[in-house]
A and B are shown apart, each in its own frame.
Chain A
Amino acid sequence: MKDWRYWAAEQRGTLLALGIFVAMFILYTANHPAGLTANVVQTASNKGVLLAFVAMAQTLVVITAGIDLSVGMIFILTNCLASWLVVGTPMETAFGVAAVLMVGILCGAINGAIVIYGRLQPIVTTIATGAVYFGIALMLRPFPGGSVNEDLADALTGRLFGLVPASLVTLVAVVLVIWIPFRRSVTGRAAYAAGSSDVAAYMSGVPIRRAKFVAYTLGGLLASIGGLFLTFFTYTGEAALASGNAYTLFSIAAVVLGGVSLFGGKGSAIGAIFGAFAFRTIGDLLFVFDFDPLWQPLFQGVVLLVAVSIGAFALFRVKNRLEWFG
């Protein structure tokens, strides 16, 4: 009984995000003209998975009390790169996928190295590196275009056994291969420790530098997986500034909805995934209710504003006013 309570308290944010998502998804499918068909689920999952990867990338960094404003740009850069490399024979395609993922890792590692060893602020650093990544993306694809291995793309964006969306299966696989081992490793625990109290973690001899570095690097990797998937969905590469900015913004919204604390040390990538799904579904609700799509950016902005303001309720529990100033 007691174990169960601890578990529920620890996972409260994740469970809340799951609840919001399920409620929104029921509302969505109930009002969708086609109802709950495999097609509707596949489309929703494909859209949600893109944001879920970027949100996971953001989560890893946010857990260490940092922020990565370049995730959207890594996502765009790897999309452009994939539209050049992930083509041809299976061998060439495999090589291309590996190269794209390596570039993602490299981008994340550069962020991490500058923030940790260069001791610069994550915000400014990642805005600046984001500009660099976007510039490189624009060099790769001055105009939208390119192609991708369509067999692979169709396999990963289609359905398994005619029912389960393959993108969802990939997402679960990535969680199992990257997130779970990270969460359970010493490095993962150190990342949480660094996020909740840098000083205390440092004094206890926790390897916080390595933990943060790994968090930023894995963040780059996850963002590049998202970029690969974007290429699989669109079959092209496009260096769209607006899209990169939007994904960065939405990743923060998803992280907040998913119960990950922006002050670090709290939350999980699984929560962020549900947050991403919930955010996507909320955005799509407008369509099933026949609103003008013009209202969508405003609506998403308001959802984000409300989501970040909810965290302010913790202020009412503050007993000592000095805690306001952290």
Chain B
Amino acid sequence: MSDTTTARIAGRMPGFLRRADPAVATAFACIILLLVFGSLYSTSFLSPEYLLQQLKVASFLGVIASGMMLVILLGQIDLSVPWVVAVGAMMACAAAAHGTAGMVLAIPFGIACGVLIGLVNGIGVAYLRIPSMIITLATNAVAQGLMVVHTGGFSPQDSASAAMRWLATGFLLPGVPNAVVVWAIVGAAMVFVLTRTTFGRAVYAIGNRERAAYLSGVDTRRIVMIAFAVSGGLSAFGGVLLAGYASKAAQAMGDAYLLPAIAAVVLGGTSILGGRGSYLGTVAGVILITLLQSILSVMQMPEAGRQVIYGVVIIGMLLLYGRAPASR
């Protein structure tokens, strides 16, 4: 990356209200296009019930993508999402099978397991300087191995606790699913952390140039480690919500979330090289991906076609505004 570009990027710190990011605008434009296209296909597409349902489905991806965004802002990536989601779901369900105390502790326990895996990732990336892609692939494999041993390779029999089900499918506010409320809370916390705390500033700084952040007195390794732990925790939380939604955990339930999570973050204008991006963009990306999935399933597109379309859409969007600078 050339120095001039870096300087230009560094000058543009978060604060999505200050200036509308073209990428975020594009993402929102695509959402509107999809809605128009969908309403031509089916008249029920614009009904409030359908849209709320979409928002509810989006909130699972939204929680997972929040963690992914934090890591991508650092210029790293977290490929351990699939099995951390499954670990969160399975461990929460397993805890729920252990009496009243287990019921109460199910959700924190599931999240704690995710944080633990995230910590391993973070220590590997920050202190051992292992490329994040490699260490997260390795912890993903280990998490898968642990879950295979735990479940015996079968679908786990434990079911989700009442609290988990309520969190994913209940209605605290009339008309608004709890999952959407959860996502709103996670999102608000992310916006606060990214724009109003030193931690958030440090994340952007490290994403731009870790060396410079280190020389400015930021304990970059601690920040990176915490970011990975948060990402693991949020992935596991997403798993807990999914388990509550389906009322049980399943093998490979997280496989369908890795690519969409990365896609949502990247389509929302967060630079894959780190240091640039806003949470609003991620929200747009998540909704965009969910709507795309929904339209493809309404059109009864088979899984194969969906995979191809995802891949092509991601590459296409990235080619539009995710390219690295040319000169060096």
Interface set of A (CB-CB < 8 Å, partner B) = 67, 69, 114, 118-121, 123-125, 127-132, 134-139, 142, 198-199, 202, 239, 241-242, 245, 249, 252, 256, 262-263, 294-302, 304-305, 308-309, 311-312, 315, 321-322, 324-326
Cβ-closest chain B residue relative to A118: B319
Asked whether B319 lies within 8 Å of A249 as measured between CB atoms, the reply is: no
Top-8 shortest CB links A-B: A298-B145, A135-B307, A301-B141, A132-B311, A138-B304, A135-B308, A312-B128, A301-B142
Q: In the complex the two chains form, what is the Cα distance from A302 to B146 in whole Å?
A: 10
Tell me the bound Cα distance from A301 to B141 in angstroms.
5
| A296 to B153 alpha-carbon distance, docked (Å) | 11
Residues of A within 8 A of B140 (CB): 249, 301
A201 to B44, CA, bound (A): 58
| Chain B interface residues (CB < 8 Å from chain A) | 77, 124, 128-131, 133-135, 137-146, 148-149, 152-153, 210-211, 214-215, 220, 252, 255, 258-259, 262-263, 266, 272-273, 302-312, 314-315, 318-319, 322-326, 328
Q: How far is the CA of A321 from the CA of B220 in the complex (A)?
A: 12
The one of B130, B139, B146, B211 that contacts A312, using a Cβ cutoff of 8 Å? B130
Compute how far the CA of A131 lies from the CA of B314 in the bound complex, rounded to whole angstroms: 10
A-B contact pairs, 10 of them (CB 8 A): A114-B319, A120-B272, A123-B272, A124-B262, A131-B307, A137-B304, A138-B304, A138-B307, A308-B135, A308-B138
Partner of A311, one of B130, B142, B215, B304: B130
CB-nearest residue of chain A to B271: A121
The interface centre, meaning the residue of B304, B310, B324, B326 with most chain A CB atoms within 10 A of its CB, is: B304
Task: Assess whether B128 is in contact with A124, with CB atoms less than 8 Å apart.
Answer: no
A165–chain B nearest beta-carbon distance, Å: 28
Contact A135 B305 (CB under 8 A): yes
User: Roughly how many angstroms separate A59 CA and B252 CA in the complex, as a whole number?
Assistant: 28
Interfacial chain B residues near A312, Cβ < 8 Å: 124, 128-130
Q: Which of A120, A241, A309, A311 contacts B315 (CB 8 A)?
A: A120
Given contact pairs A129-B315, A130-B311, A309 touches B128 in the complex (Cβ within 8 A)? yes
Given the known interface contacts A67-B133, A132-B307, A315-B129, the answer about A249 and B324 at a Cβ–Cβ threshold of 8 Å is: no
In the complex, chain B residues whose CB is within 8 Å of the CB of A315: 128-129
Q: Which residues of chain A are within 8 angstroms of B303 by Cβ–Cβ distance?
A: 135, 138
The reply to whether A131 and B259 contact each other, CB–CB distance below 8 Å, is yes
Are A120 and B324 closer than 8 Å at their CB atoms?
yes
Beyond A131-B307, A198-B328, whether A302 also contacts B149 by CB under 8 A is no
| Secondary structure call for the B interface | helix
> Residues of B contacting A245 with CB < 8 Å?
255
Compute how far the CA of A301 lies from the CA of B145 in the bound complex, rounded to whole angstroms. 7
> How many contacts A-B (CB < 8 Å)?
163
Which residue of chain A is the closest to B75 with respect to CB atoms? A121
Name the distance in Å between A282's Cβ and chain B's nearest Cβ.
13
B128: which A residues are within 8 A, CB to CB?
309, 312, 315
Q: Is the CB of B315 within 8 A of A114?
A: yes
What A residues does B307 contact at CB under 8 A? Answer: 131-132, 134-135, 138
Which residues from A are CB-within-8-Å of B310?
A: 128, 131, 135
- CB contacts (< 8 Å) of A305 on chain B: these are 135, 138-139, 141-142
**Complex formed: what's the CA distance from A286 to B77 in Å?**
32
Tell me how far the C-beta of B178 lies from the nearest C-beta in chain A, rounded to whole angstroms: 31
A142 touches B302 (CB 8 A): yes
Contact between chains at A136 and B142 (CB < 8 Å):
no
CA distance A98 to B300 in the complex (A): 35
In the complex, besides A120-B272, A239-B304, 18 extra interface pairs with C-beta distance below 8 angstroms are A118-B319, A124-B77, A128-B263, A131-B307, A139-B304, A252-B134, A252-B137, A296-B145, A297-B141, A297-B148, A298-B145, A298-B146, A304-B142, A305-B138, A309-B128, A315-B129, A322-B215, A325-B210
By beta carbon, the residue of chain A nearest B221 is A324
Q: A47 to chain B: closest CB distance in Å?
A: 18
What is the minimal beta-carbon distance from A121 to any residue of chain B, in angstroms? 5
Contact A308/B141 with A119-B326, A132-B311, A138-B304 known, Cβ cut-off 8 Å: no
Cβ-defined partner of A322 (8 Å) among B214, B266, B326: B214
With both beta carbons as reference points, the residue of chain B lying nearest to A321 in the complex is identified as: B214
Pick from B141, B152, B305: contact of A300, CB below 8 A: B141
B142–A294 touching, CB < 8 Å: no
Given the complex of chains A and B, what is the CA–CA distance between A129 and B273 in angstroms? 19
| Closest residue on chain A to residue B128 by CB atoms | A312
Distance (Å) between the CB of B137 and the closest chain A CB? 6
Quote the shortest CB–CB distance from A45 to chain B (angstroms).
25
CB nearest neighbor in A for B319: A118
Contact in complex: B153, A294 (CB < 8 Å): yes
Contact A124 B210, beta carbon cutoff 8 Å: no
Query: Residues of B contacting A118 with CB < 8 Å?
Result: 315, 318-319, 323
Q: Assess whether A309 is in contact with B308, with CB atoms less than 8 Å apart.
A: no
Q: A302 contacts which chain B residues (CB < 8 A)?
A: 142, 145
Min C-beta distance of A164 to chain B, whole Å: 33
Which residues in A have their C-beta under 8 angstroms from that of B77?
Answer: 123-124
Q: How far is the CA of A236 from the CA of B303 in the complex (A)?
A: 21
Whole-angstrom distance between the Cβ of A145 and the nearest chain B Cβ: 15
Please tell me if the beta carbons of B141 and A128 are within 8 angstroms of each other in the complex: no
